Amino acid sequence: RFWTRGCALLTFYALFLHVLLRCQVYSGDGHDAVYLEQLYFNKLLLGQYNSTLGKFTGYTEFSKPIADSLNNSTRIMEQERKNTWRNCRDYVQLKPHVRLRSVEAGSSRHPAMLVCSAYGFYPKQIRLTWLRNGKEVTSDVTSTEELPNGNWLYQIHSQLEYTPRPGEKIICMVEHASLMDPELYDWGLLLGLVLLVAGLIYYRKKSSGERQDIKSTHHKKMN
């Protein structure tokens, strides 16, 4: 898939100058989108800007020093980054990176709080839903708006205050255009992994301590 826009200028003596703006996309989500600004003179490519390389390249003795001068301009390079986003954003769908964690509760109504955060996604529209034992939770839920990261990507955070109950299953469900199906993040599963890792660390420390005690006792007997 690619998007192309061009403009042409005819000059005297049938000389032809052509500027081509192009966004090339090879994947379904657009993560590999490449923005090109190409300058042709009489069908000869003089030079181009390539967003993947992040610079201008000259292909003739005339255009090479011009490309070097453009690459040394902070203002122009920043403008090219904006051009890349403006011209290629309709083809881009970036998956959110999701983090589910437990924090200290903000009120006295419930002793626990979970925070579900999604980072680095595009387009802006996204939905975070809390599920308790398969049913949507709407009370004691606080969510932010989609917040810009400053690099045309977005982030969002949703908080759930709750009282833990034995055997319950709490899930943060994420829905976004970049996802084929909603993604489910199970706090019970994450908690189990955390406890397992903590248990292994405790066991290793305890085993190490016991070995140190045995060595110390053996040393005293030798003396």
Q: What is the pLDDT of residues 120-130, one digit of tens each?
A: 898 889 999 99
Backbone angles phi, psi at 187, to 5 degrees: -65, -35
Instruction: Report how far residue 57's alpha carbon sits from residue 106's, in angstroms, rounded to the nearest whole number.
Output: 55
Backbone angles phi, psi at 104, to 5 degrees: -70, 135
**What is the structure's pLDDT at 74?**
94
Higher pLDDT: 147 or 208? It is 147
**What is the structure's pLDDT at 198?**
40
CATH 3.10.320.10 maps onto the chain at: 2-91
Domain 2-91 is found in CATH 3.10.320.10: yes
Q: Is 35 helix (H, G, I), strand (E, B) or coil?
A: strand
pLDDT bracket for residue 63 (50, 70, 90): very high
Average pLDDT over residues 14-34: 75
The contacts of residue 167 (CB under 8 Å, 6+ apart) are none
Instruction: Report how far residue 174's alpha carbon sits from residue 130's, in angstroms, rounded to the nearest whole number.
Output: 9
- Greatest mean pLDDT among 20-29, 83-92, 119-128: 119-128
Q: What is the mean pLDDT of the chain?
A: 79
Measured torsion, CA atoms of residues 82, 83, 89, 95, in degrees rounded to the nearest 10: -40
Instruction: Report how far residue 210's alpha carbon sits from residue 202's, in angstroms, rounded to the nearest whole number.
Output: 12
Quickly name the fold that domain 97-199 has.
Answer: Immunoglobulin-like (2.60.40)
The helix (run of H) or strand (run of E) holding residue 222 is helix 187-222
In 3D space, the residue among 123, 129, 138 whose CA is nearest the CA of residue 88 turns out to be 123
CATH 2.60.40.10 maps onto the chain at: 97-199
For the packed helices 63-71 and 74-88, what is the interaxial angle rounded to 10 degrees?
90
What share of the chain has pLDDT > 70, as a percent?
A: 73
The contacts of residue 147 (CB under 8 Å, 6+ apart) are 154, 155, 156
Q: What is the pLDDT of residues 180-206, one digit of tens each?
A: 999 999 987 545 444 444 445 445 655
Instruction: Report how far residue 13's alpha carbon sits from residue 59's, in angstroms, rounded to the nearest whole number.
Output: 24
The contacts of residue 132 (CB under 8 Å, 6+ apart) are 162, 168, 169, 170, 171
Q: What is the pLDDT of residues 90-149, one digit of tens each?
A: 777 888 999 999 888 766 678 888 999 999 898 889 999 999 999 999 888 889 888 887
The contacts of residue 223 (CB under 8 Å, 6+ apart) are none
- pTM for the whole thing? 0.60
